[in-house]
């Protein structure tokens, strides 16, 4: 692949969008490679995925403006669908995904980070949906996910006025979980990923599924989703071993994903 680097270390994988000369902007080729890289993840081995951008300046500076500039209505819709399909695939991965936002996260970059479960940012990160200043709406889910993550009034300001926010404001809005100096961002993301990877994988996946599916339905239906997933954990070796270790006053076992 020319624009995606993928590295797996034990149960953690780091996927880097690597088109640094265009600040990692997403053109069709990058999106195609991202899609293929997501499909290729070994979900039996990987327990947490980190997505980041190459270099110190940008996570992803958006969809490629040059490529979009001449699209027709039908082509615009098709390009939006291509991005949405990939981002939805990321969102629906059974394993947790952490965005390590190492600089500009604008337009499609902000949207990519929002399709991840958790966002950590470097101090120089900048988030924004500047599309209306280019004559378009966000097209990779920005109008939908931003208003679901931060207060709707602030989301609307960012969408209508193109207001960009820095890392500290993103932290205060809950758009990111934590902010680090640039050089500490990836180690911090890997530390969190390791912590997740040490827990029982079936229970972690079930927790993700319960949150994501539960948020789409009424609380009565959501509680039932949790009950079923909770019950299913009692068919696992990891539950038996995890609880036995606690009762025997031993440290948590190495969970086997069984
Ligand atoms: N697309 C294409 N090229 C880009 C992009 C981009 N989004 N962002 C940066 N680049 C390129 C620049 O053109 C430049 O290339 P070159 O060196 O060949 O001139 C190179 O990256 C470096 O950029 P700058 O010189 O501009 O770097 P600065 O540090 O001066 O500025 C900024 C950095 C502020 C990030 C600036 O580059 C910028 O404003 N970029 C555009 C940000 C933006 O508006 N993003 C949103 C794009 S729209 C979008 O993402 C919609 C998503 C949904 C699409 C649905 C389609 C239907």
Residue 47 falls inside a structural domain: yes
Same domain, 96 and 151: yes
Query: What is residue 102's predicted lDDT score, i.e. its pLDDT?
Result: 98
d(CA 160, CA 239): 48
Same domain, 15 and 113: yes
d(CA 173, CA 56): 24
Domain containing 15: what range? Answer: 4-197
Taking residues 152-157, what's their average pLDDT?
98
Same domain, 193 and 227: no
Give the residue from 197, 217, 237 where a domain finishes. Answer: 197
pLDDT digit string, tens, across residues 125-153:
999 999 999 999 999 999 999 999 999 99
Residue 258 falls inside a structural domain: no
Same domain, 227 and 177: no
Active-site pick, 33, 75, 131, 157: 131
> Helix or strand or coil: residue 8?
strand
Q: Per-residue confidence at 155, pLDDT binned at 50, 70, 90?
A: very high
Q: Per-residue confidence at 57, pLDDT binned at 50, 70, 90?
A: very high
Q: Per-residue confidence at 72, pLDDT binned at 50, 70, 90?
A: very high
Q: Per-residue confidence at 228, pLDDT binned at 50, 70, 90?
A: very high
Residue 155 falls inside a structural domain: yes
Same domain, 115 and 89: yes
Distance 104 CA to ligand 1 centre (A): 9
**Pocket probe mutation, ligand 1, options 19, 31, 65, 85, max atoms within 8 Å of Cβ:** 65
Same domain, 87 and 211: no
Residue 252 falls inside a structural domain: no
Same domain, 177 and 61: yes
**Pocket probe mutation, ligand 1, options 17, 20, 24, 25, max atoms within 8 Å of Cβ:** 25
> Has 183 been annotated as catalytic?
no
Taking residues 77-85, what's their average pLDDT?
96
pLDDT digit string, tens, across residues 10-53:
999 999 999 999 999 999 999 999 999 999 999 999 999 999 99
Residue 255 falls inside a structural domain: no
CATH number for 87: 3.90.226.10
Same domain, 59 and 75: yes
Query: What is residue 200's predicted lDDT score, i.e. its pLDDT?
Result: 98
CATH number for 235: 1.10.12.10
d(CA 19, CA 26): 8
Sheet holding 165-166, edge to edge: 58-60, 104-106, 126-128, 165-166
Query: What is residue 254's predicted lDDT score, i.e. its pLDDT?
Result: 94
Query: What is residue 61's predicted lDDT score, i.e. its pLDDT?
Result: 98
Residues contacting residue 152 through CB under 8 Å, at least 6 positions apart: none
Give the tokens for residue 61. 């500076």
Query: What is residue 15's predicted lDDT score, i.e. its pLDDT?
Result: 98
Same domain, 46 and 65: yes
Ligand 1 shell residues, CB under 6 Å? 22-23, 25, 61-66, 68, 76, 79-80, 83, 104, 106-108, 130-131, 134, 138-140
Query: What is residue 142's predicted lDDT score, i.e. its pLDDT?
Result: 98
Ligand 1 atom having least distance to the Cα of 111: 52
Query: What is residue 63's predicted lDDT score, i.e. its pLDDT?
Result: 97
What total number of domains does the chain contain?
Answer: 2
Ligand 1 atom having least distance to the Cα of 71: 57
Same domain, 34 and 52: yes
Q: Per-residue confidence at 54, pLDDT binned at 50, 70, 90?
A: very high
What's the sign of the alpha-carbon dihedral 133, 158, 27, 104? Answer: positive
pLDDT digit string, tens, across residues 92-111:
999 999 999 999 999 999 99
Active-site pick, 7, 91, 111, 250: 111
Query: What is residue 38's predicted lDDT score, i.e. its pLDDT?
Result: 98
Residue 69 falls inside a structural domain: yes
Give the tokens for residue 37. 């890289």
Ligand 1 atom having least distance to the Cα of 130: 44
| Helical H segments across 92-181, by residue range | 108-114, 142-149, 152-161, 167-173
57 DSSP 8-state letter = S
């Amino acid at each position: 692949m020319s624009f995606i680097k993928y590295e797996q270390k034990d149960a953690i994988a780091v996927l880097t969008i690597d088109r640094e000369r265009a600040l990692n902007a997403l053109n069709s080729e990058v999106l195609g490679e991202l899609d293929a890289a997501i499909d290729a993840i070994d979900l039996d081995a990987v327990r947490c995925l980190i997505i980041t951008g190459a270099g110190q300046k940008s996570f992803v500076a958006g969809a490629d403006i040059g490529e979009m500039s001449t699209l027709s209505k039908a082509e615009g819709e098709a390009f939006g669908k291509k991005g949405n399909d990939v981002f939805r695939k990321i969102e629906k991965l059974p394993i947790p995904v952490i965005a390590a936002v190492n600089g500009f996260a604008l337009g499609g970059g902000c949207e990519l980070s929002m399709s991840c479960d958790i966002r950590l940012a470097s101090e120089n990160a900048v988030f924004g949906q500047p599309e209306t200043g280019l004559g378009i709406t966000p097209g990779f889910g920005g109008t939908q996910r931003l208003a679901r993550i931060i207060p709707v009034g602030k989301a609307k300001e960012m969408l209508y006025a193109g207001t960009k926010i820095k890392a500290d404001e993103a932290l205060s809005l809950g758009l990111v979980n934590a902010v680090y100096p640039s050089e500490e961002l990836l180690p911090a993301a890997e530390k969190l990923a390791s912590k997740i990877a040490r827990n029982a994988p079936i229970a972690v996946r079930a927790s993700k599924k319960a949150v994501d599916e539960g948020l789409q339905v009424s609380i009565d239906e959501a509680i039932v989703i949790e009950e079923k997933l909770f019950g299913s954990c009692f068919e696992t070796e990891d539950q038996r071993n995890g609880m036995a270790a606690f009762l025997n006053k031993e440290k948590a076992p190495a969970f086997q994903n069984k």
